[in-house]
Amino acid sequence: MLLAEREPNLRAVVVFSGAGYSFDRSPALRARLLTAIDRIAAPVFFIHAANDYSLSSGKVLDARREQVGKPHRLKIYPPTSSRREHLGARRVRISGRKHAEMSLQ
């Protein structure tokens, strides 16, 4: 969204769970994204899975587009995985090294 606000030649913007984790926790980020969303010229399509950390970023930013009369759409898809699987520890390969455990909790 921050790049899209500075790029007037974009034909469309697709946002996948934008700031889903941080939107509710950071008033500064929320304010910055609300400013950016007002300035985007292209239509914006917000996409979330129903079990994202939070759906409020998509709902709030989509509502803002409605208020300012700019094209928008919000789609909330069914959950992509169980909440436990979504937040659990995952094994990741880091630059060809052995696997390391990474907890997303």
Question: Residue 67 — pLDDT band, cuts 50, 70, 90?
Answer: very high
pLDDT bin (cut points 50, 70, 90) of residue 100 is: very low
What is the phi/psi pair of residue 14, to 5°? -115, 125
| Chain centroid offset of residue 24 CA | 12
* Domains along the sequence of the chain with CATH: 4-102 (3.40.50.1820)
Closest-CA residue to 77 (of 54, 57, 56, 52): 52
- Rounded mean pLDDT, 80-104: 51
Round to whole Å and give the CA distance between 6 and 70. Answer: 16
Q: Is residue 104 very low, low, confident or very high in pLDDT (cuts 50, 70, 90)?
A: very low
- The answer to whether 35 and 29 have CB atoms below 8 angstroms apart is no
